[in-house]
Amino acid sequence: MAYILPRAVIVLIGWAITCGVIRNVSVQVSPTAFYIAAISWALAGIACFGYLHRLRSELHESRGRS
């Protein structure tokens, strides 16, 4: 949980900023735009933080071998 919570907060902040920008650009925005923004931020967060986690685990494995 300590690993997931800070990353979830980063993704939520990014989504909130994106939704604020969408709302400022146009007053008449369908909810679909916000859902697409949420899905894209979630997928980007999973990909980015999953990759960082994999790199960190590979680094620990390589240090353990030597």
Confidence of residue 17 (pLDDT cuts 50, 70, 90): very high
For helices 4-25 and 31-65, give the axis angle rounded to 10 degrees.
150
Phi-psi region of 44 (alpha: psi -120 to 50; beta: other; left: phi over 0): alpha
Average predicted confidence (pLDDT) for the chain: 87
- Residues 18-36 pLDDT 10s: 999 988 998 888 889 889 9
Residue 7: name the closest of 50, 58, 59 by CA.
Answer: 50
Q: What is the pLDDT of residue 13?
A: 92
Confidence of residue 40 (pLDDT cuts 50, 70, 90): very high
